[in-house]
Amino acid sequence: MSGDHEDVAGEIIDQYLRFLRGRGPRPDLEGVSTEQRRELTELFALLEAVTDADAVARPPLEEDPVAVRLGLVPVPPGGGSVPDANVASRKRVADEIDVALAELAHRFVGEVEILPDQGNGRGKFQTNGFLPARAVCRTLGEVVLVLTTDRSDFSELSQEIAPVFLARPTATAVAVVSDVSLLAAVLTPADCVRAIDPIRGWIDPLPPVDPEPIAIALGRYLDWSLPRWDHVARLDEMLLLTEAGADVERCVIDAVEDILKRQARIPARRAALESLRRDLPPAAVRGLVDEVRSGRLTGDEMIDRLRDLARVSRA
Amino acid sequence: MCLAFPCAGVSHQRRMIGAHGGCETSTAVDIPVMADLPGDIERLHDRWRQGDRDDLGLFEAVRDLMRRRAASGIRKITGGRANDQDVDEALFGAFKQLLAQDPSQITTLTGLAGTIAYRRGLDVGKALNRAREFPGGELLVDSADPAAPLPEDYILDAEDAAEREHLVRLVMECIESLPPGQSEVIRATILRDQELSDWAAEQGKSYEAARKQRIKGLSALRACVESKKDTTMEGGDHVG
């Protein structure tokens, strides 16, 4: 291959390797000369034959899981039971759960922390067919254990999970994933204890709702449990840019104007907005801000003044 | 099979207990191509035809090639690198299917083993795609009936597969004849799926320098393979 064509050939070879590995389209040879195309085509045949040839596992024959499964070699000492499709399937399912958790971590980045369980045997739950917690999802107010089970029937799950909350009292919820079906259900302590019904008396825990893929079930729970922070109108402006009292008044007037621009179709809402314009004196807000800034107004007294202000504007 | 230090003269039994299924003398170039020399596969095939099938010997002889072809089939369907468990699943079904064949009808054992493994790899790949699309279901691989006669296209594909395996053998031999830097970059970025940029960083080279080295290596490799092909054709060497 001549040096003039090396850059083009290098790029095409990179593309072809990406194509063979499923990471890109087949390279286009339209722009290359006939001679170079012939050379590249021959190279493609070589690459197709040997790409990733050394990336496949080659266990020693006596430990080869397929040879063991075929009965060609004895089970290696300490190797446990004969490997079968279930083992491979379980590993694959474990990978799928990890992928789902990684997706959730990406979706709730900054709000949810997903960590391997650090229970270290304390409170790890081995009974009832449950495995130790696979991961822990932490939000501001939630600690959700992710457990796996080898069953797909969740009808008795509520009773079976109750002891988990006793063993791990910091857990606020448990997500149970079936490594057979990959479906999950999220339960809180309230779902796992008997409840009293005014008519029927004591009733047993209800079975969980229909299981769903873990990314949906756990994702919905985490989404629901995250705190909602309402936007405070012009807060940054108020804190940073309103040194003078006149600026505070201007800021209050602007904030009220912003609110009044919104359309109000319901008569009561329209009246409330009109009341806001009429009854909330910017000077009163300015006086309040001045007193808070100077430290003269704090605590309950400040709350009372704010309540009075709100009552005035609501009247 | 050791390419730089071939295992000729070492008994079959002794090679079988080697740490990697190849020579006991571990070298930097201990890359099994078909786990053994073609002559051994022919001998195993002859014994099978005579009714003395050596299942373990056959498995040892073809397992690397079948794993490679199964991984290739899975990658073809899923578009991603196959994990070891999926490859093993395909190999398990493929080897059982190979053993169920009539040895007198097999013209090229390595070619047929590779073809069956590739088809089972495709099956596993399809099952994986189904499992990704419907995550609630179990992973069900469409397993072919081992006892059923093979379709005619298997026989045709087996010829191509035998040629491909011959090509793999030539490439592996030629890689050893390249200068160390060129053989290393080809081994790392083509045989082993290491990113060229990572390899360049490891070696303290620029990406462009590594890419030029790989192009030179591939160019030399192509020339070497062509010359060996010519030699093979002149000598009338056996392919399958």
| pLDDT tens by residue, B29-62 | 344 444 445 568 888 888 888 888 888 889 998 9
Q: What whole-number percentage of chain A has pLDDT above 70?
A: 81
Please report which residue ranges of chain B form alpha helices under DSSP H: 12-16, 38-49, 55-78, 84-99, 109-133, 152-177, 180-186, 196-203, 207-235
Split at pLDDT 50, 70, 90, the class of A73 is: confident
The Cα of B127 is separated from the nearest Cα of chain A by a number of Å equal to 12
Cβ atoms of B90 and B65 within 8 Å: the answer is no
Split at pLDDT 50, 70, 90, the class of A276 is: confident
- Specify the higher pLDDT residue, B233 or A22: A22
What's residue B67's pLDDT? 92
Contact yes or no for B214 and A60 at CB 8 A: no
Query: Which structure tokens are listed for B94?
Result: 């493929």
Which residue of B54, B87, B88, B160 to mutate against A (max A Cβ within 10 Å)? Answer: B88
Split at pLDDT 50, 70, 90, the class of B184 is: very high
What's residue B186's pLDDT? 92
Burial class (CB in 10 A: 0-12, 13-18, 19+), B235: exposed
What's residue A314's pLDDT? 52
User: What's the whole-model pTM score?
Assistant: 0.51
Three-class secondary structure of residue A111 per DSSP: coil
Q: What whole-number percentage of chain B has pLDDT above 70?
A: 70
- Specify the higher pLDDT residue, A121 or B163: B163
What's residue B147's pLDDT? 58
From the list A60, A70, A73, the residue with the least C-alpha distance to B93 is A70
What's residue B11's pLDDT? 34
Question: In terms of CA atoms, which chain B residue is nearest residue A87?
Answer: B85
Q: Is B10 on the interface with A (CB under 8 A)?
A: no
| pLDDT at position A209 over 70 | yes
Pairing of strands A143-149, A173-178: parallel
Cα–Cα dist A313/B137, whole Å: 59
Cα–Cα dist A144/A226, whole Å: 12
Q: Is B182 on the interface with A (CB under 8 A)?
A: no
**Region of poorest pLDDT, from A6-15, A171-180, B16-25, B122-131:** B16-25
Q: Which of B16, B85, B192 sits opposite A55 (nearest CB)?
A: B192
Mean pLDDT across chain A: 78
Contact yes or no for A54 and B31 at CB 8 A: yes
Three-class secondary structure of residue A193 per DSSP: coil
Whose tokens are 């080809």? That residue is B186
The Cα of B215 is separated from the nearest Cα of chain A by a number of Å equal to 6
| pLDDT at position A50 over 60 | yes
Query: Which structure tokens are listed for B184?
Result: 């290393």
What's residue A197's pLDDT? 83
Contact yes or no for B86 and A88 at CB 8 A: yes
Which residue of B64, B164, B191, B215 to mutate against A (max A Cβ within 10 Å)? Answer: B215
Split at pLDDT 50, 70, 90, the class of A195 is: confident
What's residue A94's pLDDT? 65
Mean per-residue pLDDT for B113-133? Answer: 85
Report B:67-126 residues touching A (Cβ under 8 A): 67-68, 71-72, 75, 78-89, 91-92, 95-96
Residue type, position A45, single letter: A
Question: Tens of pLDDT along B58-98?
Answer: 999 899 889 988 988 888 888 777 788 888 889 988 998 88
Q: Is B140 on the interface with A (CB under 8 A)?
A: no
Cβ atoms of A196 and A147 within 8 Å: the answer is no
